Amino acid sequence: MGIVAGLDSSAEYTRIVVCDAETGAVLKQGYAEHPAERDDPQSWLMSLGRAAGAGQLADVTAIGVSAQQQGLVALDATGQHVGPALLGNDRRVQTAAADLSEALGGREAWAQAVGAVPQAAHPVSKLRWLARNEPEAAQRVTEVMQPHDWLVWQLLGRPERRTTDRGDASGTGYWSAATGTYRPDLVELALGRQVRLPDVLGPAEAAGRTPEGLLISAGTGETMAAAFGLGVGVGDAVVSLGASGSVFAVHHEALSEPTGMITSFADATGMHLPVVRTLNAVRVLRGTAELLGTDLDGLSELALKSTPGASGMVLLPYLEGERTPELPHTAGSLHGMRRESMRPEHLARAGVEGMLCGLADALDVLRNRGVQVRRVFLLGAAADLPAVRAAAPGLFGAQVLVPQPADYAALGAARQAAWALTGGGAPPAWPAPECQVLDPGEEGPVGAAVRQQFVTVREQAYPGAFG
């Protein structure tokens, strides 16, 4: 079938993997940091060129593009940026998101309209911010894209047609994964008028060909590309451990939830990726480690000297407030302290269990809506901590897989490129990633008891938090 490449343009760098289109074997790789400001789209393009500069793309016949999600690239009538890109993590937009939520009639109205309640990350919220804070720039906006859309457009030589895919479109706040259609009225609500939006391609469609004849696939956002690269399917969930946490699963239909705990993303295969986020994940481990005068490895070592249940101590991990459950103004709290339990190893264990139970709450939000969870892929550097690996299967109530480190978003983009080469049908069956497999085993009932201990304390502290 040939050779394909996957490009992943993150917030800081570009990674390239070049693969055999039939087997998925990685043949070459490239890497380059963005050389200028991270909100400068030209910097993304320059790092792409540098990552490919050693001849990585010499024999490639198709390219897939994955990129950071929910950034807003606003263009004027000449195709030039009206200002720096507004990136997904731009905290300035929080007030605009809250204002926009009320403008449509509240959280439930948004959940029904597009499967998500406006957050600072959503491009629709960034349009509201632009209109309120930079009105002159906002008046010049005639079209909007996200980073992957813009990069594909550049690779194709800036053709008249602009494209995106279901995955990235589902993160805008003005495209519904349930109906597969835009809501231009929501763009107008945010910006004050309608603008041009890219065409939404299907999973195996091609965006076009470069002037040199290379096929460019639809592309997608990093989350969707990573899921495709991992090969997750129905029955699989992914728990990602960053400072905050996210849980998503493959499902056959779009889901929404009136309070906004579920965000209804589409995936890169024609299915759906309902996502539930927590504000507190590895920041809980780091905070506990600092309190104990150690680092994450030291915290893990201490936690393993304790026993499941942390001698009765329960840490409610809401250090930055929380959105699952919706407790924006709360704080973390430690419960069940007795003289015999006030030891470093028990506090360390309570920190690990509290973080994982918060993520188990997010998993249960999906399970309670009919999402199957037979396996959980655990991602992030903290997934390598022995204490996290020991506790996760029992607390999640499922088999846990910890994949070997790899550029899964770039691999997913490459796999999509190989799929576009075939012109449709089933995606290429590339090998599953190597994983360490962790089963609940005999510790399953113990983990269930620890989880119930957490739920009991959480319900006592915040009755009815989950409705």
Give the Cα-Cα-Cα angle 33, 421, 424 (nearest 5 degrees).
Answer: 120
pLDDT in tens, 105-117: 999 999 999 999 9
pLDDT in tens, 318-340: 999 998 998 989 999 999 999 99
Q: In the predicted model, what is the mean pLDDT of residues 121-137?
A: 97
**pTM of the full structure:** 0.94
Q: What is the DSSP string of 151-199?
A: HHHHHTTS-S--EEEHHHHTTSSSEETTTTEE-HHHHHHHHSS--B-PE
- Report the phi/psi class of residue 326: left, alpha or beta, with left for phi > 0 and alpha for psi in -120 to 50: beta
All domains in the chain, ordered by first residue: 3-218 (3.30.420.40), 231-397+434-467 (3.30.420.40)
Residue 79: pLDDT over 80: yes
Measured CA to CA, the distance from residue 394 to residue 310 in angstroms comes to 14
pLDDT score at 258: 83
Mean pLDDT of the chain: 95
Q: In the predicted model, what is the mean pLDDT of residues 237-250?
A: 96
Q: In the predicted model, what is the mean pLDDT of residues 87-95?
A: 91
Tell me the pLDDT band of 188, cut-offs 50, 70 and 90: very high
Tell me the pLDDT band of 165, cut-offs 50, 70 and 90: very high
